[in-house]
Amino acid sequence: MIYLIELGAHTGTTAVTLRVATASYVTRPTDTPANASFLGRVADPGNFEAFLFSAGKTGGASEVGYGEIVINNPDGKFDAWINYGFDGRPIRIYAIADAFAPFSAATLVFRGSIEQIVTARALKQFRFRIYDRRLDIDKPLQTVVYAGTTTSAGATAEGNVDLKDQVKPLIFGRVFNVPLVCVNVFNLIYQGSASALTGMLVYDGGVPLTYTSDYATIAALNAATLVPGKYASCLAQGIIRLGGKPQYAVTADCTEGATAASRSAAQIVKRMLTRMGMTTADYVDATFTALDTLNAAECGIFLDGEVTALDAMQRVLASVGGYIAPNTLGQFEVGRLSAPGTPVATLTE
C-alpha cells in the first residue's frame, strides 16, 4: 500500500499543489492529473485522531481532530517550502495498491486542512500538522459589524458611535425574549437579527405591542405612519420600528425559517454551513434527513457576539444529542449517538 499526499501551498505569487508519497509514484497520461509525480519522501503518513464529541465522551462539544505528517528532505530539494504559505491550505491523502495502479484506483482516505509546516532538523525533515475539516467552520459565523454611522434621523440602521464595530446579532430558528438592539434612536428602529426573519412579536417591558405591517426596505419602514403602542417591521433585515418611545426594555419573540420543519436542529445547522460558504458537495444531505427523522423538534439560537460556526452548530445539535463530523471525503455529516440495541453476539472469557 502506498500513501499519496497532495499539499496545498502558496509560493507568495501563486497557489500550487505539492505531491509526495511513501513510495515514488507517477500518474498515467490518461489520469487526472496527468503525468503528476509524487516523490517518495514521506517518512510517516501520520496518525490521525478524531472524535464525535471529545476523547472519552459520549456527549458535549466535539474537538477538531489532528495529526502530523513527516517528510524527509535530505538533499534540500524542498528547502523552498519553508517560505511557502501552508496555513489553512487543503491536504488530501490517498491510498493506492502499488506503483503500477492507475490514479483512478486510489482511495481518498483523508481530506482536511494544514495548520503549519515545522522543521527542527536544519531543513532535513519537515512536519506538517494537519486538521480535519471542522477547522474550516471553527471560524466566526458572523463577521458583519455596525458602522456606527446613524448619528441623525433617516432611513439607516447602523447604530451610533457606541455600537461601532459591535458584531450584529444573528438568529436561527425560533427564539424568545430576544433583547433588540436600538440601531436608530432617532426613528426608534430596532434590530433582532442581521439575517432575514419570518416573524417578530415585539414587547415593551413584557407588554405585547400591536403589529401593523411589513415593509420590504428600511426606507419604506421609516416612511410608514405609526402611533404609540404599535410597530411595523422590515423582516428582510430583521428590523422593527416603534410608533412611540418605549417605556422599558424592548424584546421580541423572533422566528427564522419558513416552516417549523425548517427550524429543526439539522436544518438550522445546514443553513449555518451554507452561511460559511459550504455547498451541497461539502455535506452529506442524507444524514441531515436521518437526524430529522430521529428528532425534528423546532429549536433556535440567538447569537449576539463573535461565535464560531462550529460552536454554534454544536450548541444547536446538543439540544437533540447530536454531533457534526467530517467523513473521510471531507464531507460533513450529522448524527446522534443512541443507546445500543439488541446485541448481535455475546463474547465471554
Average pLDDT per block of 10 residues along the chain, 349 residues long: 95 95 95 94 82 76 80 91 92 93 93 85 84 89 95 93 95 97 96 96 97 96 95 97 96 96 97 96 96 96 94 94 88 89 90
**Alpha-carbon span 183 to 188, nearest angstrom:** 8
Cβ atoms of residues 265 and 202 within 8 Å: no
Locate all alpha helices (DSSP H) within 74-116, ordered by sequence: none
pLDDT at 119: 80
**Alpha-carbon span 24 to 56, nearest angstrom:** 38
Cβ atoms of residues 54 and 48 within 8 Å: no
**Alpha-carbon span 91 to 112, nearest angstrom:** 5
Amino acid of residue 23: A
How many C-beta neighbours within 10 Å does residue 102 have? Answer: 11
How deeply is 241 buried, as exposed, middle or buried, from its count of CB atoms within 10 A (0-12, 13-18, 19+)?
buried
Q: Which residues pair with 17 in a beta bridge?
A: 8
Torsion of CA 209, 214, 220, 221, to 10 degrees: 20
**Alpha-carbon span 269 to 319, nearest angstrom:** 12
Cβ atoms of residues 148 and 162 within 8 Å: yes
pLDDT at 312: 96
Is the pTM here over 0.75, yes or no?
Answer: yes
pLDDT at 327: 87
Length of the chain, in residues: 349
Q: Residue 239 is inside which H or E element, if any?
A: strand 239-242
Give SS3 for 40: strand
**Alpha-carbon span 320 to 266, nearest angstrom:** 9
Cβ atoms of residues 300 and 175 within 8 Å: yes
C-alpha torsion sign, points 298, 303, 309, 312: negative
Torsion of CA 252, 255, 240, 164, to 10 degrees: 90
**Alpha-carbon span 147 to 332, nearest angstrom:** 34
C-alpha torsion sign, points 69, 70, 75, 79: positive
The cell numbers describing 333, all together, are 455529516
**Alpha-carbon span 183 to 17, nearest angstrom:** 47
pLDDT at 224: 94
According to DSSP, residue 72 is labeled: E
**Alpha-carbon span 50 to 131, nearest angstrom:** 9
Q: Residue 218 is inside which H or E element, if any?
A: helix 218-223
